[in-house]
Amino acid sequence: MSKLLSTKEVAQYLGVNEKMVYTLIAEKGLPASKVTGKWIFPQHLVDQWVEANTINLSAKSGAVPSAEGLLIIAGSNDPLLEQTIGLYNGLYPEKLAVFGNLGSLGGIRSLKQDLCHIATSHLLQENGSEYNFEVAGQLLNPMPVVVNFCRRCQGLIVAKGNPRGIRNSGDLKQPGLRVINRKLGTGTRQLFDRELEAAEIKSSQLSGYETEVQRHMDVGLAVLGGKADAGPGIQPVAEQLGLDFVPWRWERYDLLIQKERFFQQSVQFFLGLLHEDRFQRMAADYPGYDTSISGKMVFATSMAKMDGQGNPSIVGPREAL
């Protein structure tokens, strides 16, 4: 984990007095942990909090063209997404879909700046159950349309046969064990840090924590090549590479689209693929994907009618608009 700041240090870092720091913790969600009665602040989480609460970033600086020919997707990467973009480009040769691998937070920021038509994200919220709405609500006004792309199983990618006997995140404290990491701003890095905190592991205890790669596949390749014993990633990558996998949780991987672009032709063509059998077959090739709500619009619990089991409502896009 990055440098830990004291209350005094984080106050100086943010340019506020110490009493205001306590207010920011209680009312604004400033990331902090209490250890032996004192608050400590991981600097990288403070940086993410500042980014997520930036309100004066131009929302229309990019002036991306209408999605009639070129469809720009940016954010968190996923192998099934890459295949779906390939399917789209094959089916619609007069159009072109491209992807920018910026991480979940980078995708949402690009959507805010009008640099892309669709952002991909899987940022887990503080409540530990909902995804994406919190950050989207902070950065985007109005709230974008949120459509599920898939659900994915996140966890630790480990070597075939799991020779280090890793059963959970706590086992990463083994002497001599090497990890590989994802970049800040990615949902996977966020989840990894939460897992380490729950297991009471400091980043300084992990060899390789500071080594960051761009994609889930890069994590898998590092483990496959013997450069790391474990790294955070998704189960489909482990399956593709013949590696073992230690699951953490199923997560929701969503597409975020500004409302004024939702019915543009290329956006609708891309969303339409999520309802087709060929998309379902691609996802079924590897364990770790769930497409039962793919192509469905989802709403935050606080905004939605409940489904009778305490879950946010999920409807088809044209039902909701």
pTM, rounded to two decimals: 0.76
Give the pLDDT confidence score for residue 63 in this predicted structure: 60
Query: Candidates 3.40.50.300, 3.30.70.2740, 3.40.190.10, 3.90.600.10; correct CATH number of 154-250?
Result: 3.40.190.10
- The answer for residues whose C-beta is within 8 angstroms of residue 84's C-beta and 6 or more apart is 270, 273, 274, 279, 282
Write down the CATH number for the domain with range 4-52. Answer: 1.10.1660.10
Confirm if 253 and 149 have CB atoms less than 8 A apart: yes
Give the pLDDT confidence score for residue 47 in this predicted structure: 78
Give the pLDDT confidence score for residue 55 in this predicted structure: 52
Q: What is the mean pLDDT of each run of 10 residues along the chain (321 residues)?
A: 80 87 79 82 79 54 65 96 97 95 94 95 88 90 94 97 96 95 92 94 93 95 97 97 97 95 93 96 95 93 42 43 39
**Average pLDDT over all residues of the chain:** 87
280 burial type by CB count under 10 A (0-12 exposed, 13-18 middle, 19+ buried):
middle
- Domain 4-52 and domain 70-150+252-320, same fold? Reply is no
DSSP-assigned letters across all residues of 53-80: T---S-TTSS-PPPTTSEEEEEES--HH
Give the pLDDT confidence score for residue 293 in this predicted structure: 95
- Convert the pLDDT of each residue in 223-234 to its tens digit: 999 999 999 999
- Ranges of each domain in the chain: 4-52, 70-150+252-320, 154-250
Write down the CATH number for the domain with range 70-150+252-320. Answer: 3.40.190.10
Give the pLDDT confidence score for residue 2 in this predicted structure: 57
